[in-house]
Amino acid sequence: MGSSQRNFKNFLLTGRPGAGKTSVIEAVAREFGDLAGGFTTREIRERGIRKGFSVAALDGTSAVLAHEDFAEPLRVGKYGVDVPAFERIALPALRDAMSRKRIVLMDEIGKMELASSHFCDLVREALDSPLIVVATVMEKPHRFADEIKRRGDVETLEVTIGNRSALPGKISEIIRRELESGARQ
């Protein structure tokens, strides 16, 4: 975390694939239980080879987001992306988190997910809300991702193999302080 004295309630995690971004989000979800809502994404592997990605709400509902066998018109690399499947899982999970929780978790704000304009709208709404947001965001340049990384109310943290074990505790500590200060207001 930077040496800045600013208080942030929106955290965007970036980093190389495999650095542990999803693990950080999942650790925060475990730490705060029913106070947190949202979704995660995971690789789909067959015999050790990545074949696609799934999306899962924290309540356990899930769908295949993208797969190399999908003939979807939207393609990201070798993967066909099923935007309606993503929206069926992620959008209700985010709406529920924004209406009933104190912490919104999003894994990930990436090229596949950003194909949904409804998702982009909910990301902005969550960041603008009084809720705490912890999200992973694509590292590569992208108009929307770059826009939210530049926000003054966002702290962007790089997840690395070296810091991924300590990061959930640091983020959780900041969230606990934010929740306590919000309870006193």
**In the predicted model, what is the mean pLDDT of residues 133-152?**
96
Residues 6+ apart with CB under 8 A from 167: 13, 20, 24, 157, 159
Cα(76)–Cα(111) distance, integer angstroms: 7
Domain residue ranges in the chain: 10-40+94-184
Give the single-character DSSP code of 97: H
State pLDDT tens for residues 76-135. 999 999 999 999 999 999 999 999 999 999 999 999 999 999 999 999 999 999 999 999
CATH topology of domain 10-40+94-184: Rossmann fold (3.40.50)
| pTM of the predicted model as reported, rounded to 2 decimal places | 0.93
3-state secondary structure of 57: strand
Q: CA-CA-CA-CA torsion for 37, 39, 40, 45, nearest 10 degrees?
A: 140
